Each structure stands twice: as structure tokens, then as C-alpha cells.
């Protein structure tokens, strides 16, 4: 299975795609979502936030009927709502990037992400921030605060470390 790499987001669509992947992976096999990721891209129009935000209940039913994605109504609806939230934040001075940098601490940012975005918990927030190159605590310290075992996250961190990313850039 390919472990997701750290990316430099080119725009809101990249943020929405990574956030949505975190949402859909929650409680499921990462491989299951990876194997269907092309269908997610197709059904959510490459995660273009303007197009996703314009989706309604008819679109949710269409996506659920397609069979290409895991049929979880709440997560599909959350993706649409999260696109709307991203667009709201993008309208603020400095946009979504400024929002991410406006918190005094990682914990404050994660607390707001969890409150603001649907189905984005502590693990999903770490995933989003790590994959988009934003400051996160070291995995070893963060892992102590999250119940359970997270082998895919551990592999993702190890891959980034092996890929030449400096520890400062992946564990700020």
C-alpha cells in the first residue's frame, strides 16, 4: 500500500482532498479508501471546493448510489460542509493559509479545526497538517496523547523521514 506523502498544496482543492481523505479513512482501512480514491476524485469533482460546496442532497444521493465510494451519508455530507467552511475561511484576509498560521499553538489550531470542520478529529487534524507541511509535534510525542495504535500514521511519518525531509520540516 502506498503511504501518502507530504505535499505542497497548490490551492484549496488540495486541502479539501487531504482533509476529505482523513475524514473517509477515519475508522476504516486506509487501503480501502486508497483503492477507491479515483472514484472519490471523480464523484467530488477533484475536490474543487466551489463545486463541492454547491452540492446538495440530490448530489449526496447520486454519490451514495454510485457505489464507487464508501457509502457513509454523514461523511459525504461532511465533505460538502467542509468545502463551504474552507471557502468561508478563504474569504478572510490571507485566506486559509493565514487561518492555519493564526494560532499560538498546535493544540489551539487542532481544537479549532475539530470544532469548525465535520468529522475531523485529532488524528485527522494531525494527518491534514502533516501532509500539507504545517507544523506538528513529533509523532512520538503526539502518539502518546491519542488512544490506540496508529500504524499507518507511523508509516507515513517514517516514509517522510526516509525521503530526505529534515526532522525540523516534518516535526515542527
pLDDT in tens, 126-153: 999 999 999 998 877 777 777 766 666 6
Q: Where are the domains positioned within the chain?
A: 12-135
pTM value is 0.85
Instruction: For 65-98, write each residue's pLDDT tens digit.
Output: 998 998 899 999 999 999 999 999 999 999 999 9
Give the whole-angstrom CA distance, residue 159 versus residue 3.
Answer: 7
Give the whole-angstrom CA distance, residue 159 versus residue 95.
Answer: 30
Indicate if the pLDDT at residue 171 is higher than 70: no
Among the listed residues 87, 71, 70, 83, the one whose alpha carbon sits nearest the alpha carbon of residue 33: 70
How distant, in Å, are the alpha carbons of 7, 13, 18, 44, 128 from that of 37? 17, 15, 11, 10, 16
Superfamily of domain 12-135: Hypothetical protein; domain 2 (1.10.340.30)
Q: Report CA 18 to chain centroid distance, whole Å.
A: 4
Amino acid at each position: 500500500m502506498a503511504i501518502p506523502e507530504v505535499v505542497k498544496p497548490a490551492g484549496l482543492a488540495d486541502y479539501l482532498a487531504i482533509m476529505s481523505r482523513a475524514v473517509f479513512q477515519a475508522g476504516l482501512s486506509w487501503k480501502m479508501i486508497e483503492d477507491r480514491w479515483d472514484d472519490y476524485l471523480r464523484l467530488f469533482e477533484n475536490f474543487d471546493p466551489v463545486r463541492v460546496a454547491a452540492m446538495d442532497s440530490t448530489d449526496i444521493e447520486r454519490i451514495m448510489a454510485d457505489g464507487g465510494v464508501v457509502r457513509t451519508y454523514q461523511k459525504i455530507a461532511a465533505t460538502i460542509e467542509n468545502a463551504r467552511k474552507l471557502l468561508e475561511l478563504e474569504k478572510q484576509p490571507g485566506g486559509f493559509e493565514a487561518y492555519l498560521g493564526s494560532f499560538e499553538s498546535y493544540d489551539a489550531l487542532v481544537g479549532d479545526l475539530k470544532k469548525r470542520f465535520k468529522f475531523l478529529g485529532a488524528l485527522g487534524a494531525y494527518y491534514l497538517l502533516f501532509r500539507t507541511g504545517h507544523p506538528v509535534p513529533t509523532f512520538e510525542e503526539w502518539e502518546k496523547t491519542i488512544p490506540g495504535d496508529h500504524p499507518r500514521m507511523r508509516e507515513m511519518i517514517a516514509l517522510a523521514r526516509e525521503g530526505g525531509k529534515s526532522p525540523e520540516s516534518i516535526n515542527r
